[in-house]
């Protein structure tokens, strides 16, 4: 009986340490992504908008 309890405690500790390791490995990546998103300006609006390239294309169609 005692070996069963020790085995269960061992497996619980392994599972807990695996979770801690996974979280600690992910923290630097999360910190970098938060910093990067704070510096990047807001994305341009989506949808149709005329650009100089599109206007030049329209001018070729009129000729």
For residue 16, the SS3 value is helix
| Radius of gyration for the chain, computed over Cα atoms and rounded to the nearest angstrom | 28
**Helix, strand, coil % in the chain, rounded to nearest 5:** 80, 0, 20
Q: How confident is the model at residue 19 (pLDDT cuts 50, 70, 90)?
A: confident
Domain ranges of the chain: 1-42
Identify which has the larger pLDDT, 37 or 18.
18
pTM over 0.85? The answer is: no
Q: Rounded distance, CA 9 to CA 46, Å?
A: 54
Return the pLDDT at 63: 59
Tell me what pLDDT residue 48 has: 81
Token code pair at residue 8: 């269960």
């Amino acid at each position: 009986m005692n070996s069963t309890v020790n085995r269960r405690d061992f497996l619980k500790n392994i599972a807990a340490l695996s979770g801690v390791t996974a979280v600690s490995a992910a923290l630097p990546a999360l910190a970098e992504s938060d910093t990067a998103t704070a510096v990047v300006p807001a994305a341009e609006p989506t949808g149709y908008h005329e650009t100089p390239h599109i206007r030049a294309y329209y001018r070729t169609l009129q000729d």
